[in-house]
Structure 1
């Protein structure tokens, strides 16, 4: 459904030659930690490739050799599960994952495309047992459900095909669903509060309607007066605000009941808001003529929290743990001494620690093929990379 999810379609373009290699139960050779800025460095200055903000203040990236055991206790790895040829479709519980497995049946030739088989299974990580489940037939709808913050309602989408969906509001106490009228081409949106769901419905022409949907199924169109947006690639809703990026790489927000957005951060490539809405992880746009991006943490009003978290040539995925205590991200840098691999940022301590890093020559690099995914408790992290033998492999990391 690359038509449906604008975020993933954009990311697939940027994920090129990232190097990831996980090392289980091994002390990391380096640790990256943040440096707390002075009071005059906590603003929203834009980031340049030199590490200076537009107002001239420095953001520092400190690498500490020989990480101490105390600093790495929160990243102690208990076990790594290896799921050959599989990617995670969904976490069903903290120990069960639904996976899709791809197998090569016949290699391609000059005249024929390669042939593959696809199966869907549920894996019990506590026993390593797998049971195959029936996949959706093309005629069946794919259902996606988003529960309100208070757990009383859910917004339900039934995708008839990769372009169109039927929408419903479901009362979780009664099980009854109310149809929401209107065409829908995208799944971008979220709960504004307990009683209102915001949906960027999309359109075959232009950015389409922004619908403010009530729990009784009725809605009004929300006007966003912004000439710098033709289509929403990144659009999300959190704690009474709408957040999105415009064509000039500005991260903007819109307060409930208003039509004029405000700029939160400039020079943004991607962003991810923590589930508790207290932190926004932002990756920056490369400077003209240069290759590189940086990861910075802001609070919900756009003030920088701490200093520069990470830097590299490419970053593909950001993933907050369900309790907002950790942010997983990956970095690729050509230089061996640069940041490479998957890292974890601890939002309480401000520490950044590598899960493991390696470097591979051009043409042999491995990179995340799917978003990084946390288990419901945040004690497990799933990472899917390329694999020479089984096309892809998912490694599920169990933290102690």
Structure 2
């Protein structure tokens, strides 16, 4: 589970590790674009090899002067909603979000971590009114610190994690139609998993020793089956994803691998992977790769298909790329870029898969340059027409800006 201040600290640590000579070359008066993957299929990914060697495919950042575009190619913003002291837990509907308000109870010291209090409420973005969760929207905290929900693709089930503290959680599966809740046995230390299909959830449970179990959970009856993975190159799961019957993860050497349940031997797809996110329709994998030249030099964001073939060219570049998040319809990709050099890309950007355009969102959620960076995962509304961005705020502990797109 990610704590807001801890997440920000990890981001700064990553920036320090990756601080180098990479320059993103993205002046304010220019726009970053990518080649249409339908007409440019160059640079296919070769089979990955252990050791994180650079891929053979050329990666090119294309910057063009800003010129008038045809209607519909630009990301258009209607308005922005500010929710102070809060981060988004989930979307109740297109207009309502469940937020967690964070309040500092006791400042940290040299020997003790700061203490926070948390309060859950529902905010209506249209009226601005706040109400308490009720009925199926409410969560019975029962002494738990935080509750996370992961609905199945068809909405019939929800996998629920109730965190007892920052390190351990209890797991449940709820039948949305009947209201029946099944407790899933076993210790859980990680927030890593996903729906294999409409009735099966895959959980990388983690462990205090080693990588822990991979559990295949039946939503219908709560039955747990342990999956076998024969890979000596993975000690702890850091990045783990599930989509349409396949399980993806990165190993100790930053190689993205995939395997099917029942087949213990994985297949290597892509090297030098810092982070990856699979699109909801399973057509694409957004991959943040680490550029290496003796030492870390920076990150690049590219799009691959599900077989590991490079699609188009580079869409993002900086010292650190984080919170890569697909919209529910797979039409847009949001991500945050940190660059030490001011001319580089900084802040949150949107990549449109149909037009190939990359648009900066910083002007809509920040008034300073360089803009503040996301400290929580970016959060899309059910339709993909709204995006929540949570950043540090000098007036309050944090603030979430919800951007409405046209």
Deviation for aligned residue 1:113: 9.3
CA distances 1:331-356 after superposition (whole Å, capped 9, x unpaired) = 12233332222211111222212224
Counterpart position of 2:311: 305
> Is the 1:136–1:142 Cα contact (8 Å) retained in structure 2?
no
Number of corresponding residues:
382
Greater mean alpha carbon deviation, residues 170-179 or residues 206-215: 170-179
Counterpart position of 2:81: 81
Deviation for aligned residue 1:79: 0.6
> Is the 2:45–2:55 Cα contact (8 Å) retained in structure 1?
no
Counterpart position of 2:151: 147
Give, in whole Å, the separation in 2 of the partners of 1:200 and 1:298.
Answer: 24
> Is the 1:155–1:197 Cα contact (8 Å) retained in structure 2?
yes
Greater mean alpha carbon deviation, residues 81-90 or residues 367-376: 81-90
Greater mean alpha carbon deviation, residues 171-180 or residues 101-110: 101-110
> Is the 1:60–1:308 Cα contact (8 Å) retained in structure 2?
yes
Give, in whole Å, the separation in 1 of the partners of 2:112 and 2:162.
Answer: 35
Alpha-carbon spacing, 1:109–1:162, altered in 2? closer, same or farther (3 Å): closer
Give, in whole Å, the separation in 2 of the partners of 1:183 and 1:221.
Answer: 13
Counterpart position of 2:228: 223
Counterpart position of 2:373: 367
> Is the 1:17–1:367 Cα contact (8 Å) retained in structure 2?
no
Give, in whole Å, the separation in 1 of the partners of 2:132 and 2:106.
Answer: 22
The normalised TM-score by structure 2 is 0.81
Counterpart position of 1:264: 269
Correspondence 1:374-389 to 2 at 5 A:
374-389=380-395
Q: State the Cα RMSD in Å.
A: 3.7
Residue 177 of structure 1 pairs with residue 181 of structure 2: yes
The normalised TM-score by structure 1 is 0.82
Residue 341 of structure 1 pairs with residue 347 of structure 2: yes
Structure 1 stretches lacking a partner, 5+ long: 19-27
Structure 2 stretches lacking a partner, 5+ long: 19-27
Residue 29 of structure 1 pairs with residue 29 of structure 2: yes
Counterpart position of 2:44: 43
CA distances 1:355-376 after superposition (whole Å, capped 9, x unpaired) = 2469978xx8622111111111
Residue 245 of structure 1 pairs with residue 246 of structure 2: no
Corresponding residue SS for 1:192: strand
Counterpart position of 1:196: 200
> Is the 1:254–1:262 Cα contact (8 Å) retained in structure 2?
yes
Deviation for aligned residue 1:280: 0.6
Counterpart position of 1:354: 360
Give, in whole Å, the separation in 1 of the partners of 2:213 and 2:265.
Answer: 16
Deviation for aligned residue 1:277: 1.0
CA distances 1:203-245 after superposition (whole Å, capped 9, x unpaired) = 1111111122233222221110000111111111101100000
> Is the 1:313–1:331 Cα contact (8 Å) retained in structure 2?
yes
Alpha-carbon spacing, 1:360–1:184, altered in 2? closer, same or farther (3 Å): same
Match of 2:399 among 384, 393, 397: 393
